[in-house]
Amino acid sequence: MQKGLIIGATGSIGRAVRKMMLAQTDVHLTLYSRRANRLKLDAKRETAVAGSVLDDDQLDQTISGQDFVFVALSGDMANFATHIVASMERVNVHRLIFITTMGIYQEIPAWLGDSPEPYHNPILKSFRQAADRIEQSSLNYTIIRPGWYTNGPINYEITQKGEPFGGHNVSRQSIADYVIRLINDSTLDNQASVGINTPE
């Protein structure tokens, strides 16, 4: 049985991934969030840790022994990525799945909308810096670049880094389904940055 850590477990993507992972895998989950103590747990398969990703000692302790780390956060993404990557490298855990956002490589085609320069865009800058930090690491990472979140059914397409992004939106269920595929197939999209969207 694999052991997996969800950082950002109380957010909408973390909740969707957690729910699908419990239903479709036998992974034992550790749920990490500042509000993790509010979670109702499956005592046989889940452990909760209330903490900050900026607390290096607690992060090291929590990441140690995991088979993979899934991250879905908002805020100071570059700083969060720096702490998470450093911790994973310290405790020798290699598999990272990390949610950023579409547009960090100026991959939005003209028909879909504007594609601003990410380092000079206040929304995209921290996401791009987070991706840079991950790509420069020694980790086996998959960076996921979703469109705008919806509550629709599972229906998505994947684009690789360097390919134009395919659509505006993506459902939370679709993101969770793709994460399950990554967990179940160790050869899928390693050292990759992928866009995910609902086909237009």
Indicate the domain borders of the chain. 3-197
Indicate the fold that domain 3-197 takes in CATH: Rossmann fold (3.40.50)
Q: Residue 10 in contact with residue 36, Cβ under 8 Å?
A: yes
Q: What is the pLDDT of residue 162?
A: 94
What whole-number distance in Å separates Cα of residue 109 and Cα of residue 100?
A: 18
Q: What is the pLDDT of residue 109?
A: 86
What whole-number distance in Å separates Cα of residue 84 and Cα of residue 130?
A: 10
Q: What is the pLDDT of residue 25?
A: 97
Q: What mean pLDDT is predicted for residues 56-71? A: 98
Q: What is the pLDDT of residue 114?
A: 81
Could you give the 3-state DSSP secondary structure of residue 104? coil
Q: What mean pLDDT is predicted for residues 23-35? A: 95
**Rg, Å, the chain Cα set:** 16
Query: Which of 13, 82, 91 minimizes the C-alpha distance to 53?
Result: 82
Q: Residue 175 in contact with residue 16, Cβ under 8 Å?
A: yes
Q: Residue 94 in contact with residue 140, Cβ under 8 Å?
A: yes
Q: What is the pLDDT of residue 36?
A: 84
Q: How many CA atoms lie within 13 A of 6 on its CB side?
A: 30
Tally of CB atoms within 10 A around 90: 13
Q: What mean pLDDT is predicted for residues 185-191? A: 95
- The mean pLDDT value of the chain amounts to 95
H/E segment holding residue 146: strand 140-146
What whole-number distance in Å separates Cα of residue 85 and Cα of residue 62?
A: 13
Look at 11-20, 90-99, 114-123 and tell me which has the smallest mean pLDDT. Answer: 114-123
Give the sheet arrangement for strand 46-50, strand by strand.
46-50, 28-33, 3-7, 68-71, 95-99, 140-146, 192-197, 157-160
For residue 110, pLDDT over 90 is answered with no
Q: What is the pLDDT of residue 73?
A: 97
What is the greatest pairwise CA distance in the chain? 49
